[in-house]
A and B are shown apart, each in its own frame.
Chain A
Amino acid sequence: MAAQTDTLLRYRPWRGTPRGPLYASTALARASLKLLFRQRLMWGLFALALLVFFGFFFCQYLLVLISNLLDTESVRFASLPVTVRSIKRFFAPLELDGTAHTFGNFIWYQGYVLVIVLALAGSVLVGNDFAHGSLPFYLSKPIGRWHYLLGKCLAIGVVINLLTTAPAMILWVEAGVLSDWQSYYLDHFTLLLGIIGYGATLTVVLSLLTVATAVLVRRTVPMAMIWMGLFVLLPMLSRWLVETFKDERWRLFDLWNNLYLCGLFCLNADPATIRPQPQPAYWEAWLATAAVVAACVLYLRKRIQAVEIVQ
């Protein structure tokens, strides 16, 4: 005779319908992020990025703290007296005054850590799938190729925003708290939107570029070399070309500078205040960035048409 619990504890089969492939992209992004956060090197790089953030965070606070002092007065650092004028001069290039350049500069400096993080993330998240041949497992599930790429881009986008947009927003909140917060938040609300716009631009461009380069070279070391080429050699080359030919358009070779200009456009910064001068116009930077995005999309489209067996 059946026990009463047999009827009570019966398993009821799932009656739902599976969600679409966009949902699968988010699941893929979550799984990718977990894999990424298992890497010890990644935590070391995050710590480095955190140092940059704390540098901006506490320096912004310090400058407000000493703003009431006379320039000739001094404060003690490690028992050594340092004049207020010297401190202000030292931090002047960072423009830690809650303006567009504060956030622009912060993201610029975070870029040094970000490119290394992305080189590693690209090879771990995408390169390994191609190099080890695990792609067929994902593509055998009910998702399209673009959904796979979207999942990977989402994971990379989260990393980008964790390192740039989120801390920049904290700096914006801090800048408001350190001044007349009501008027700051009202008057500089567009700066918050600008930070989000800058973050969105970085997310789209860098996630596509990361995936495209990871698909191309797959391994960590070649990936790091390509990124160093893009973000170290090309800027050096562009600076040399600008100085040689006296034409600021050569700076368009520098992708990170283009992204910086796009970001400052979002932050509504005056082009005349951007350093170093001269700089290309905002629209030129947007155009160069759009060209990079288009190149990445076209390359990815070509590569994902098939997982070829015979080369």
Chain B
Amino acid sequence: MSTETPLLLFEQVSKWYGSVLALNQVTLELTGGITGLVGANGAGKSTLLRMANGQLKPTLGQVSVRGTDAWDWKARRLVGYCPDIDAFYEDMSGRRFVWVMARLCGYTRAESKRRTEAVLERVGMSERADRKLRGYSKGMRQRIKLAQALVHDPELLILDEPLSGIDPIGRQELLELFQALAAQGKCLLISSHELESLEKLTNHVVIMARGRIVAVGTLQQIREMLDDRPVSVRIDVDRPREVARLLLALSEVIAVDVAPKLADGGEGIVVKARNPKRFFELFGRLVVEHQLEVRRLEPLDESAHAILGYLLGGSGKT
């Protein structure tokens, strides 16, 4: 199969559980890099991930991995899946569990052993992998799950809440590992509730709500698409009150706060504007005309939380 074929392709996919519509005509294409999957509980994230991994069959539409139906076992040679559940055979050691998973991929004993050791080393578990799984902490379980997903060196990695329960140092290590994997040319689809971590990892997100994909792209692109939504912009200037007066004269400005409580404790003004694109054009002209010295210009709500809040109509917390 040509590598030009999309690595993961959802074509008009819908999934019904009885009378519940979990996915509604989802179309999505992934070719590489790291993609974050965000959405509220019940948005359809897990259903989407399980379909990408061939664990669920779509009611309508088709899911394919490099052109092969995801339901076909051959497609799973290209996919590594790290589920959010951590139910193992508790009597097994971590090493043995990963080794069994490698054997299920069809490798010989020797090759399974070599791959097991390599992935355990990679996820930082090689020293602790002989303990039984029942004695593992949440973070260790996450690492073992990640190791089994990596053991057959898949092109596409599907990670469901991979950072859950991992301490800050371990989290940083895993974020670096994900970035290294992406740099190797792997495609990672990561579902996470921890948007701050996800933001550090990738700028490319898929936002889901009520079984639909409501936005795909970089956070900035998504924000730009929301032209009719107001944007909050922090502006640090020398003469804030005068600038506030000038800004209020602009047609796109809704409100100006001259004494906002900023997270870093700095001084500046916060402008709420209607159409971000047009506001920045007008503000640029204003700066030139009045020769304003702008020390800082920062949109405050291009974070995933804020965008998610707009899209989902809530706080953005998932």
Which positions in A face B, CB cutoff 8 Å? 14, 16, 18-21, 23-24, 27-28, 31, 35, 38, 128, 132-134, 136-144, 147, 305-311
A307–B25 Cα gap in the complex (Å)?
21
24 contacts between A and B (CB under 8 A): A14-B107, A16-B107, A16-B108, A18-B106, A27-B103, A31-B103, A35-B89, A128-B89, A134-B85, A134-B88, A136-B50, A136-B53, A137-B88, A137-B148, A138-B104, A140-B80, A143-B73, A144-B73, A147-B73, A305-B57, A306-B55, A309-B46, A309-B50, A311-B17
Given known pairs A14-B114, A144-B73, A307-B50, the reply for A136 and B103 (CB within 8 Å) is: no
- Flag if B76 contacts A306 (CB, 8 Å): no
A24–B101 Cα gap in the complex (Å)?
9
- Flag if B106 contacts A132 (CB, 8 Å): no
List B residues 68-107 near A (Cβ within 8 Å). Answer: 73-74, 76-77, 79-81, 83, 85, 87-89, 91-92, 100-101, 103-107
A27–B87 Cα gap in the complex (Å)?
20
A31–B55 Cα gap in the complex (Å)?
22
Contacts of B73 in A (CB 8 A): 21, 142-144, 147
Which positions in B face A, CB cutoff 8 Å? 17-18, 20, 22, 46-47, 50, 53-57, 73-74, 76-77, 79-81, 83, 85, 87-89, 91-92, 100-101, 103-108, 111, 114, 148-149, 152
Contacts of A138 in B (CB 8 A): 104
Given known pairs A31-B103, A35-B91, A136-B83, the reply for A310 and B56 (CB within 8 Å) is: no
Q: How far is the CB of B211 from chain A (nearest CB, A)?
A: 12
- Flag if B76 contacts A142 (CB, 8 Å): yes
- Flag if A28 contacts B104 (CB, 8 Å): yes
Contacts of B103 in A (CB 8 A): 24, 27, 31
Contacts of A35 in B (CB 8 A): 89, 91-92
Nearest 7 pairs of A and B residues by beta carbon: A18-B106, A132-B87, A140-B81, A27-B103, A19-B106, A310-B17, A141-B104
A142–B105 Cα gap in the complex (Å)?
6
Q: In the complex, which residue of chain B has the Cβ closest to the Cβ of A134? A: B87
- Flag if A308 contacts B17 (CB, 8 Å): yes
- Interface residue from B57, B77, B87 paired with A133 (Cβ < 8 Å): B87
Q: How far is the CB of A101 from chain B (nearest CB, A)?
A: 42
Contacts of A309 in B (CB 8 A): 17, 22, 46-47, 50, 56
Contacts of A140 in B (CB 8 A): 53-55, 76, 79-81, 83, 149
Contacts of A14 in B (CB 8 A): 107, 111, 114
Q: In the complex, which residue of chain A has the Cβ closest to the Cβ of B74? A: A142
Contacts of A23 in B (CB 8 A): 106
Contacts of B87 in A (CB 8 A): 132-134
Q: How far is the CB of B11 from chain A (nearest CB, A)?
A: 19
A311–B20 Cα gap in the complex (Å)?
10
Given pairs A136-B55, A142-B104, A142-B105, 20 additional interface contacts (CB within 8 A): A14-B111, A14-B114, A21-B73, A24-B105, A31-B100, A31-B103, A35-B91, A134-B88, A136-B50, A136-B53, A136-B83, A137-B88, A137-B148, A139-B53, A141-B101, A142-B77, A144-B73, A147-B73, A305-B57, A308-B56
